[in-house]
A and B are shown apart, each in its own frame.
Chain A
Amino acid sequence: MGGDKIKKDKRQKREDYRAAMRSQEGISELPRKKFYRQRAHANPFSDHQLIYPPHPDQMDWSSLYPDYVVDDEPQDQHTPAPETPSDQQDLAPLRPKRISKDVEVADIGCGFGGLLIALGPTMPETLILGLEIRVSVTQFVEDRIKALRAQDQDTKLYRNVGVLRANTMKFLPNFFRKGQLAKVFICFPDPHFKTRKHKQRIVSTTLNAEYAYVLRPGGVVYTITDVPDLHEWMVQHLDAHPSFERVSEAEQEADPCVAIMRTETEEGKKVERHKGQKYVALFKRLEDPAW
């Protein structure tokens, strides 16, 4: 009973805090992690109340990257849906506001967003998106980005980073078109030690086909983990997929993203504190074979 009460109070506090964070525009105070905690695992197989577009063309990116909105056809947003939709209108659903660029870098399971925040300023011309399945963790990153943007009014940093709640194992093709991405980061993914749960792993022979689909030829999958068996698993499965080829160590170490990935993700920092090992592997998306 007592425990329940404490739990409730804590939850209430968290909710109040988050509501306050979200109600204020232009707030520049960085969010505090302890108010955004959530159960460690979300089942990627179950039907969460997820929001995703039926087709990438129907994705509204404008609220994630407001600085990149091109305001042609501004009336689109305001035209109410016709009362009796004819078949033709059905086919061409209301187009969301357009933005001038496509997202080209995705951080899969971005957690608390350390990688996004570090990558953003290093590639200011590129739109970067974090995808995270846990609701409150996603909210934390949203609030973090909002605060950083407010802090950096003059430099206009962080306008190119965004975060979305999504189950990437199911809905990657709903957000990205074929070949849209140049880089996909998979940093410290959940290990799912149990054999029974291997299909829950974010790297698998069958899922790799979807990473190949959203990546353009020449694009790169970045992986890092502190679990040797998981590293081996990811290498084995990406290696086995004909669309991917391991990037040489020389090329890997020359890539500035690798250093950032090692030091800037929250998990990477934890491993650092524990003086743990980090295993890195990069894979290049090859051209599809002749068909």
Chain B
Amino acid sequence: MALPYHLLKVCGSTVFAAQGSDIHSFSSALEYISTWKYPVHIADEANVPSTEAQDSPAPEGPPAKRRKMDGGKESASNGQPKSKKAAQYIVPANERPFVQGLYATTDGCHLVAITGSDKTIWVFEHDGRGNLKLLSQRAMPKRPCSLTLTPDNHTILSADKFGDVYALPLLQSTTTTTPPTSDPIVVAPLPKSRSATPSTPAAPSTPTPLLLKPQGNELTVHTKRNLKALENQKISMDRNSKAQQDQLNGAAHDVVVFEHTLLLGHVSMLTAICIGTTSGSREYIITADRDEHIRVSRGMPQAHVIEGFCLGHEDFVSRLCVAPGGKARILISGGGDDDLFVWDWARGQLLGKAGVLEHVRRAVVAVEGEASTTKVAVSRVFGCRWEGATGVFVVVERVPALFRYELLEDNTLCHRETIPLPGNVLDVEMIEASGVAPPRLLVAVDPGASAEGLSSSSSLILLDKEEAGWRQSNVENLPAGADVNISTKELQKILYSTETLRKSSDFD
């Protein structure tokens, strides 16, 4: 099956577009330049030195197909490590993880990508003309859900599925060996921290003896409740030590060997992270979670101080957008609620709301003749300068339209128009044209969801605003994507994952 383009990022004068696990680059006139392909072979170590980095464009043609080693009983009898992780390092083309996030430094010199199932952050050097050179790949302890770069472009802040935010240097220094740790508790740069990180880099041969030491014994545990917990621990330790032994015999892929610092954490899956800057040029880290919270913490090195929360959402928050153009104290958030929320984030104050569901229903009526939609999952909130004002473009999952809002001088957020499109919108970016030409929008759509199907319509559509309305043109001459063996169901699961953040109501 040919895959749609599902992620867009403008980086300097280049447009990057992800399709499955590939990243294509285009000029700002949308002429195809090159493709970076997810490597089929990943070196044994999670941390690939840049000497092994692969240059782009990658050799054309589908990579040789390889069978994934069975992580189950069979491999155990072969004497192979039982760990599923170990098997993951030979990846058949159709099982390569999708690119789940694309980010660019403000100077356009680096592109950062997240791939999903392998929990990896990729940093590329961008030559300014659409060519990528892989500098590093870092497999995180938990799956990164969203990341942002500090304004100085030095640091990546990665927000993960487990609720934690890690800081990683964008560029890994080659001279110093960075102390690794698999235990997040000791990595925070807390001044009084009793134990700093271990000083030796964890080689695969460094076991973690702590895991094998029971915490408490029958003499130190007095209550039935705790005794039971201790018993359980012993049972699981017997199991664990076996697994650990297995792991030590194989490569210890779980050990994270690059510098990463735990900054803060929620006890909830993080969905979005961004940086807010106040007029005093102080930086704040703004994080959103599946449990309706938006948290405002101080920037580094005081990220352990929570300044406040923006509370009011009643369903998950999936997207955050600090308003552009001199409105940096305004935050717009969206998620599973019927409305977008407008905040003065530094004060934690709700300024207003703007309906989404009502406009989605209208758009759906226009297409289907009736409005069956009762809830929305906002999957993009994209702010930019638009016709001399602050424009906010909103994408809603599984809706074939783009919604344009405007943030007025008094910070009211107003719906301005709904732009119907031939397929569900997956992403949107603005392409600044040179000279006096007005900016254009680039939209990634899922043509699979439209009646015409993929053959007749493109997955990348340019939108030009003209007197009479929007002119839509398909981007032509897209590189032929690899034919990926993935079921429609699987693909949909990856492309439309926002709605899954909603809580089902049948838990106790």
Contact = CB atoms under 8 A, between A and B. Distances in A.
A170 interface: yes
Contacts of B504: 47
A270 B226 CA distance: 11
A262 B349 CA distance: 41
Contacts of B211: 195
B215 A288 contact: no
B306 A240 contact: no
B96 to A, nearest CB: 28
Contact of B306 (A91, A209, A230): A209
B193 A229 contact: no
A270 to B, nearest CB: 5
Contacts of A228: 216, 220
Interface stretch (A4-12, A73-81, A250-258, A271-279): A271-279
Interface in A225-250: 226-230, 236-237, 239-243
A194 B236 contact: yes
Nearest to B412: A87
Interface in B188-226: 188, 190-195, 210-211, 214-216, 220-226
Contacts of B309: 173
A91 B266 CA distance: 26
Nearest to A272: B222
Contacts of A192: 229
A45 to B, nearest CB: 7
Contacts of B223: 188, 226, 267, 270-271, 274, 276
A155 B155 CA distance: 60
Contacts of B508: 48-49, 135
A54 B311 contact: yes
Secondary structure of the B contact surface, majority rule: loop
B449 interface: no
Given A170-B291, A227-B216, A241-B190, A209 B297 contact: yes
Contacts of B222: 226, 270-271, 274-276
Interface stretch (A19-27, A96-104, A118-126, A199-207): A199-207
A40 B228 contact: yes
A46 B304 CA distance: 25
Contacts of B162: 199
B352 interface: yes
Contact of A194 (B192, B193, B233, B339): B233
Given A40-B225, A90-B353, A170-B267, A209 B304 contact: yes
B220 A170 contact: no
B151 interface: no
Given A267-B223, A271-B223, A212 B188 contact: no
Contacts of A55: 311-312
**Residue of A44, A174, A206, A242 most packed against chain B (CB within 10 A):** A206
A170 B270 CA distance: 12
Contacts of A48: 507-508
B220 A54 contact: no
B313 interface: yes
Interface string B262-293: 10111110000000000000100000000111
A90 B354 CA distance: 11
A264 interface: no
A212 B304 CA distance: 9
Contacts of B339: 90
Given A135-B508, A191-B226, A206 B215 contact: no
Given A40-B228, A48-B507, A193-B214, A54 B233 contact: no
A169 interface: yes
A45 B229 contact: no
A82 interface: no
A3 interface: no
A205 B190 contact: yes
A174 B311 contact: yes
Interface in A273-291: 274-277, 288-289, 291
A95 interface: no
A29 interface: no
B298 interface: yes
A227 B185 contact: no
A190 interface: yes
A91 B344 CA distance: 14
A241 to B, nearest CB: 6
Contacts of B314: 54
Given A91-B353, A205-B190, A289-B302, A173 B293 contact: yes
A241 B352 CA distance: 36
Contacts of B503: 47
A213 interface: yes
Contact of B230 (A54, A193, A267, A270): A193
A274 B226 CA distance: 13
Contacts of B185: 198, 204-205, 237, 240
Given A204-B185, A270-B223, A193 B507 contact: no
B304 A242 contact: yes
Contact of A195 (B192, B210, B216, B293): B210
A243 B304 contact: yes
B352 A91 contact: yes
B265 A227 contact: no
10 contacts: A46-B507, A48-B507, A90-B353, A171-B291, A207-B265, A208-B304, A229-B215, A240-B185, A242-B304, A288-B302
Interface of A: 40, 44-49, 54-56, 87, 90-91, 135, 169-171, 173-174, 178, 188, 190-195, 198-199, 204-210, 212-213, 226-230, 236-237, 239-243, 267, 270-271, 274-277, 288-289, 291
The 4 closest A-B pairs by CB, nearest first: A206-B265, A276-B222, A193-B233, A274-B222
Given A205-B265, A276-B220, A288-B305, 13 more contacts: A49-B507, A91-B350, A173-B295, A191-B230, A195-B210, A204-B185, A204-B265, A226-B226, A229-B215, A240-B193, A241-B190, A241-B304, A242-B191
